[in-house]
A and B are shown apart, each in its own frame.
Chain A
Amino acid sequence: MSSRAFRKRVTAAIADRRVAAAVHHATWHKVGARAAGMRMLRNPERLRELAGQIKQHTLERLPEYLEQFTANVRRNGGQVHFAKDAAEARQLICELARSRGLKLAVKVKSMTTEEVGLNSALEAAGVRVFETDLGEFIVQLDRDRPSHIVTPIIHKDRRQIATAMARELGCQYTEDPAALTMIARKYLRDVFRRCDLGISGVNFGVAETGTICICTNEGNGRMSTTRPRVQVALMGIEKVIPRLSDLAVFLKLLARSSTGQPMGSYTSLISGPRRATDADGPSEFHLVLLDNGRSEILAGPFAEVLRCLRCGACLNACPVYRNIGGHAYHSVYPGPIGSLVTPLLDRRGDHHDLPRASSLCGACRVACPVNIDLPELLVRMRAAGRASQGRLKKLGFFGWLCAMRSERAYRAAQRILQAMLSDDGSGWTTGGVGPLASWTAGRDLLRPAPRSFRQLWQEELREQS
């Protein structure tokens, strides 16, 4: 992704008033809801600290906890697979569907399956795939892409949704959210009745019990793990936590951080396939453990990002995300956390602009339920991406360095800037000339005073003497 392409997308996103207004409204609402939800807690800061500590502890001993977790999944009757990258994950799940003759898959909203591009692979392998989260279902119908980790259609208004549903499902056009939801319910009920494969991500994997935890509000998570005869859970290796009681910390923070709710409607704790005497539930349970670059992150200076719960709080809190929306990031993971995770997961891609799309105001850090120091990591990521900066920019910074080191050069630079930066009378300059034009286009600079402090001081001294 070149700088120019990124700038173009950002400009287009800001220009689209409809999307900008929808994202603005939704994110501000969530910021308020989160704050209210956190205020209900006796000690929210202590809980964030604990959550970060538990995650950090687990990351430091990840192999042990993964070993314990996978052993317990097996003890519960589940099968464990390992996928080193996205291609292997796709291959594993497609082969699982093929070998068992599975034809109709239902999916719980999952960023990890999005990351590996599972849907198109399954479709190519002859499996019909239905997203069952309402937002994801609409994204799929409209052949769109999600623009938020938690609220995938944050960028769409009801008219766009109504149009897509009427067009794709042949239903009566209606803009009423309740009616639209009921149309989706009816349509997906039939799918739930006939499906044979259920695919989900994992919010938490509990090492001591071999349990996976899935959180939803709509009940699609429960449907998709109850109805099909085969269940597959794709889990990033960083999702493991030590104890079931640790979930108390995370559950108190997760929904609050996402939507402001004290608890989501449904938290499912799943420990293997149905037992022989169970009334219903899948008869096969497969866990696919996904690396896809995570072990490399763990071995580097950005390991802290692996604490992330994918709650979306940093997106809502971010003034940049609020203004440009998710699509401008051109990544499965947008927002502050995405600006870190995207370059780390896709090392060959050119994402050096992403960590710069931040004002470093720190709102994300305050919102993060696992205490990730996002601004600090963003600065570190900027430094790591130095090599890919434009030559002119590098030259500019080199010049700045020289000017700051020598008094003479500094004074000369002052004079040059005075001449180059136009004055529109306000004392601010937004229209630099030459190579400075692109710099000042996005930044207001205080115009250098006509006479510098040094000049004034010298004059004063001369007058006095």
Chain B
Amino acid sequence: MSNPDALGPMPEVNSEKRLTAFFDGLRRRSALKPRTELPTLEADVRQVGANADLISRFVAAATSAGLKVHRVGESDSIARVREILAECGAKTVYIEQNACLGGSGAPNDCGVAGPEIEQLTAELALAGITVKSDTSDETLFSVDAGITGVTYAVAETGTLVCQSGPGLARGGSLIPPLHIALLSAAKILPDLYDCLALTSAGSQLPANVNLITGPSKTADIEGILVTGVHGPREVHVILMQNAA
């Protein structure tokens, strides 16, 4: 492989045939007999049941993973976002356009821009914050914070699930140094198992589903924890509960 000019044509056109030939060979040669059953999982895998106090479990797990959770009533969410931005000195923000910030609790109901976003955008602009909603490199690499919705969350691990889709940029929760996620308490699922079962239930997965459990972190240098390596240094979760 020293001379790249000597590379033959890529076997891409033949890949289907090559794969089939490989699978056939594998079948002929494999010494293993199919005797191990594929186990059923739910009962053994589940760590958190549906009856558990999902909100406290989520808060505990997320906090221990390094997420900063703010419990607010639905009407206080915008004020809390403004406070966080002020505390962090953030002047420009990206807001995900199709995020479902409030949410009915139907986990996949994320396709429509809710009125909350317009309200959030307007109130932040009033507070002197520059709000951007385009997903260009200029925006994502320059803003101080990214505000996104969450498809659902997992109580067991304190995980936020963010999917790609129209208006849902993968970079929004990743590139800005500060990520603020708006999560309606109704979207918290008990166990990682529920989250994956639900994700696979649809006909086709979104191109990108991210399970976010903490800020970007490393311990590569002498085992010392440092946050904000390539992704956000801080992740704030605005956990919205109905007053009832």
- B217 beta carbon closer than 8 Å to chain A: yes
Q: Which residues of B contact A (CB under 8 A)?
A: 1-4, 7-12, 15-16, 18-19, 22-27, 29-39, 41, 44-45, 47, 61, 64-66, 135, 137, 141, 156-159, 164-172, 174-175, 191-193, 196-197, 199-200, 204-224, 226, 228-232
Q: Nearest Cβ distance between residue A449 and chain B, in whole angstroms?
A: 48
- A19 beta carbon closer than 8 Å to chain B: no
With beta carbons under 8 angstroms apart, the residue of B7, B137, B192 that contacts A193 is: B137
Known: A134-B220, A264-B213. A94 touches B7 (CB 8 A): yes
Q: Nearest Cβ distance between residue A33 and chain B, in whole angstroms?
A: 10
How far apart are the CA atoms of A268 and B231 in the complex, in Å?
13
Q: Nearest Cβ distance between residue B160 and chain A, in whole angstroms?
A: 11
* Binary interface encoding of chain A residues 124-168 relative to chain B, with 1 for a CB under 8 A from any of its CBs, else 0: 111000001111001000000000000111000110010000000
How far apart are the CA atoms of A66 and B26 in the complex, in Å?
10
Q: List A35-78 residues whose CB lies under 8 Å from chain B.
A: 41-43, 46-47, 50, 53-54, 56-57, 59-63, 66-67, 70, 75-76
Known: A181-B226, A249-B45. A121 touches B210 (CB 8 A): no
Tell which of B18, B31, B38, B221 has the most Cβ of chain A within 10 Å.
Answer: B221
- A217 beta carbon closer than 8 Å to chain B: yes
How far apart are the CA atoms of A153 and B223 in the complex, in Å?
10
B residues less than 8 Å from A82 (CB atoms): 11, 15, 18-19, 22
* Cβ B205 vs Cβ A222 within 8 A: no
Known: A270-B208, A299-B31. A95 touches B7 (CB 8 A): yes
* Cβ B165 vs Cβ A277 within 8 A: yes
With beta carbons under 8 angstroms apart, the residue of B10, B34, B208 that contacts A281 is: B208
Residue of B nearest to A277 (CB): B166
* Cβ B208 vs Cβ A248 within 8 A: no
Known: A95-B7, A265-B231, A278-B166. A134 touches B221 (CB 8 A): yes
* Cβ B207 vs Cβ A270 within 8 A: yes
9 nearest interchain CB pairs? A219-B231, A244-B200, A125-B4, A279-B169, A218-B229, A135-B220, A219-B216, A267-B211, A219-B230
* Cβ B228 vs Cβ A185 within 8 A: yes
- A8 beta carbon closer than 8 Å to chain B: no
Interface size in chain A (residues, C-beta < 8 A): 117
* Binary interface encoding of chain A residues 298-319 relative to chain B, with 1 for a CB under 8 A from any of its CBs, else 0: 1111010000000000000000
* Cβ B32 vs Cβ A273 within 8 A: no
Q: Nearest Cβ distance between residue A61 and chain B, in whole angstroms?
A: 5
The A/B interface has a contact count, at CB < 8 Å, of 314
A residues less than 8 Å from B157 (CB atoms): 262-263
A residues less than 8 Å from B171 (CB atoms): 226-227, 279-280
A residues less than 8 Å from B191 (CB atoms): 248
With beta carbons under 8 angstroms apart, the residue of B196, B206, B222 that contacts A271 is: B206
How far apart are the CA atoms of A62 and B30 in the complex, in Å?
9
Residue of B nearest to A301 (CB): B31
How far apart are the CA atoms of A92 and B204 in the complex, in Å?
28
How far apart are the CA atoms of A171 and B210 in the complex, in Å?
34
* Cβ B222 vs Cβ A157 within 8 A: yes
- A79 beta carbon closer than 8 Å to chain B: yes
Tell which of B27, B35, B36 has the most Cβ of chain A within 10 Å.
Answer: B36
B residues less than 8 Å from A278 (CB atoms): 164-166, 168, 207-208
How far apart are the CA atoms of A403 and B47 in the complex, in Å?
57
How far apart are the CA atoms of A47 and B167 in the complex, in Å?
38
A9-17, A21-29, A346-354: which lies at the interface: A21-29
Residue of A nearest to B61 (CB): A262
* Cβ A59 vs Cβ B207 within 8 A: no
* Cβ B30 vs Cβ A63 within 8 A: yes
Residue of B nearest to A190 (CB): B141
* Cβ B7 vs Cβ A91 within 8 A: yes
* Binary interface encoding of chain A residues 153-196 relative to chain B, with 1 for a CB under 8 A from any of its CBs, else 0: 10001100100000000000000011011101100110011000
Known: A79-B12, A185-B230. A61 touches B196 (CB 8 A): no
Q: Nearest Cβ distance between residue A249 and chain B, in whole angstroms?
A: 6
Q: Nearest Cβ distance between residue A210 and chain B, in whole angstroms?
A: 8
How far apart are the CA atoms of A301 and B30 in the complex, in Å?
11
* Binary interface encoding of chain A residues 228-242 relative to chain B, with 1 for a CB under 8 A from any of its CBs, else 0: 000000000100001
Residue of A nearest to B4 (CB): A125
Residue of A nearest to B31 (CB): A299
Residue of B nearest to A56 (CB): B36
Tell which of B26, B31, B41, B212 has the most Cβ of chain A within 10 Å.
Answer: B26
Residue of B nearest to A26 (CB): B223
* Cβ B210 vs Cβ A249 within 8 A: no
With beta carbons under 8 angstroms apart, the residue of A87, A96, A223 that contacts B230 is: A223
How far apart are the CA atoms of A96 and B11 in the complex, in Å?
10
A–B Cβ pairs within 8 angstroms, 17 of them: A133-B220, A134-B221, A157-B222, A218-B216, A223-B174, A225-B208, A244-B197, A248-B192, A248-B197, A261-B65, A262-B65, A267-B210, A273-B207, A274-B208, A275-B206, A279-B171, A303-B31
B residues less than 8 Å from A79 (CB atoms): 12, 15
* Cβ B204 vs Cβ A280 within 8 A: no
Known: A209-B200, A266-B231. A63 touches B207 (CB 8 A): no
Residue of A nearest to B229 (CB): A218
* Cβ A303 vs Cβ B231 within 8 A: no
Q: Nearest Cβ distance between residue A124 and chain B, in whole angstroms?
A: 6
* Cβ A259 vs Cβ B219 within 8 A: yes
